[in-house]
Amino acid sequence: MHGVGLPFAQRAFAAAGFPADKFSVVQVQAAPDPDFPSVKFPNPEEKGALDLAIAHADEVGAAVVFANDPDADRFCAAERQADGQWLVFTGDQLGTLFADFAISRHRAAGRAMEKLAIVGSTVSSKMPLTMAMKEGGASSDCLTGFKWIGNKALELEAEGKTVVFAWEEAIGYMHGSEIRDKDGISALVVLASLATSLADAGINLASHLDALYGKYGFHATSNSYVISHDSVKTDEIFYRLRYGARAEAEVASDPKGALSLPTALAGFPITYLRDLTVGYDSSTADRKPTLAVDPSSHMISFAVGGEDGIQVTGTVRTSGTEPKVSRVLHFAHVMVTYYLCWRCRSSGTAKEQARTARRSRPSWPRWSLLWVPTGFARKSTSWTVLRLSHM
């Protein structure tokens, strides 16, 4: 995407044995251009970034679109569906497909499943980690960024594990042990290989993803961010989350002891809280987090539920490189399954409605930080802002 990846992608495509005539390039985006004239922002996961590629795919009859960012370390993909519409995969959906590919190759090679390990950032979907554990392997999460992910992979390998895959939801993927960083070129080749093998069996990527949901449990992610150029205002937002109405003098004397983190979300009790800015983790005996603490940035994580497979986890954090306040929510297992089963009672093909519901995401208002679905038992499903209750 107006970057340096094209010649490396072409060479990797050929080295993997794919015919050159199956590699069709969007010429207006092929050459490096620091002005990135064809997109508002040169990130493949941004809305509209793949529009030209999808239009080109329609012209040439391609079924799958691949895209790298300008320095080719990130990767995104889209696939034409049976109705002619295009599905742009999220970073977590691609992570799930990649994890399955890596697990399958590990098993096919006859390697011990207990040696297998997968690493993901703490704000990414837990589905690939669930997959690794269900298959008898190990999983680990770590802070966002491949300096953390790569080092965690090295730690696990020092313990005798084989890290077959690592990723973060921001479309960054690490395959194998040759490159200890995110790499969009290897991701392109892996997904091309997976899409080809599935097509030979009469299956597309979206259908395979649905099958993985059926096998391991349905997971969904919603993330968004707000731009905040005012660092003082950003600090005030997180101060209120951590300390409620407590006075600054009380907090200054004992920042960790003065914590008054929320105890409920939308009326549901919070079962887990972690603050990696002040160094608090409710799940450990000494209340100290196992992940690194960074007082220079904000990051608060939480969980709701967990009983009977119903769980929502989330994180609110600032970006280390951009003036953003981000929020991510992960819905897992039964909570969303109840919703899908209810939706399937209406007219139409139940199976297709379930697929549509699984892949669709609600329109999250940009101004909200945290949202949760409500109204599963009613005919109209609503989305309401989480109301935080402090101690």
Is residue 190 assigned to a domain? no
pTM, two decimal places: 0.81
When mean pLDDT is compared across 172-181, 215-224, 374-383, the lowest value belongs to 374-383
Tell which wins on pLDDT, 110 or 320. 110
Is 115 in the same domain as 16? no
Is 84 in the same domain as 174? no
* pLDDT (mean) for 270-293: 94
The Cα 294–Cα 323 span in angstroms is: 17
Is 110 in the same domain as 80? no
Is 232 in the same domain as 320? yes
Is 257 in the same domain as 370? yes
Residue ending a domain, choose from 61, 88, 115: 88
What does pLDDT average to over the chain?
84
Is 67 in the same domain as 136? no
Is 77 in the same domain as 112? no
Residue 126, domain extent: 99-182
Q: Which of 361, 317, 325, 370 is nearest to 219 (CA)?
A: 361
Is 65 in the same domain as 28? yes
Give the pair of three-digit tokens for residue 318: 């600032």
Is 18 in the same domain as 144? no
CA 369 to chain centre: 17
Confidence (pLDDT) at 333: 58
Residue 242 in contact with residue 260, Cβ under 8 Å? yes
Residue 177 in contact with residue 88, Cβ under 8 Å? no
Q: Write the single-letter amino acid at 375.
A: G
Provide the phi-psi class of 129: left if phi over 0, else alpha when psi is between -120 and 50, else beta: alpha
Residue ending a domain, choose from 153, 182, 211: 182
Is residue 211 assigned to a domain? no
Residue 258 in contact with residue 251, Cβ under 8 Å? yes
CATH number of the domain enclosing 139:
3.40.120.10
Is 84 in the same domain as 134? no
Planar angle of CA 95, 97, 145, nearest 5 degrees? 15
Is residue 158 assigned to a domain? yes
Per the DSSP assignment, residues forming a β-bridge with 318 are: 325
Is residue 207 assigned to a domain? no
* Residue that has been written with the tokens 């997109």 in this structure: 39
Count structural domains, the chain.
3
pLDDT tens across 282-324, in order? 999 999 999 999 999 999 999 988 766 678 889 999 987 788 8
Q: Does 156 score more than 90 pLDDT?
A: yes
Tell which wins on pLDDT, 78 or 306. 78
